[in-house]
Amino acid sequence: MVESIARVRHIRVTPQKARRVVDLVRGRQATEALAILKFAPQAASEPVYKLVASAIANARVKADASNEYLDEQDLFIAKAFVDEGTTLKRFQPRAQGRAFRINKRTSHITIVLATPDEASVAGVSKKKASK
């Protein structure tokens, strides 16, 4: 019934490292994903944890606004993806007057939470929802 989206943009984590963390929780229950992210050793797990918590809060607000019942145990991560953001280009001085370019990459992370009956409409299979 409820689908909520949370996004964070221009976060200072490289997309490759953020995808490693997002792949851990894709398709899982939202509360289970929070537990996994809380103890994940990767640095990108903290912003992804906050993003999943924000998506849960968004679902709660959306359900309250439409007068629907929401059990947070039913929410699962229907979609999760990481896109490449802008790259900050910096220079480090090197020998003999040369310059060495440093690329500081950023990411756009998107998390979509849904309840299982909403997922069947969105095209996500029940097997993935129960995973």
pLDDT at 130: 52
Residue 47 neighbours by CB distance under 10 Å: 18
pLDDT over threshold 80, residue 49: yes
CB contact set of 99 (below 8 Å; sequence gap of 6+): 91, 92, 93
| Percent of the chain's residues with pLDDT above 70 | 89
User: pTM (2 decimals)?
Assistant: 0.84
Render pLDDT for 2-32 as a digit per residue (tens, 0 to 9).
899 999 999 999 999 999 999 999 999 999 9
Sequence-distant (≥ 6) Cβ neighbours of residue 75 within 8 angstroms: 2, 29, 30, 31, 56, 59, 113, 114, 115
DSSP 28: S
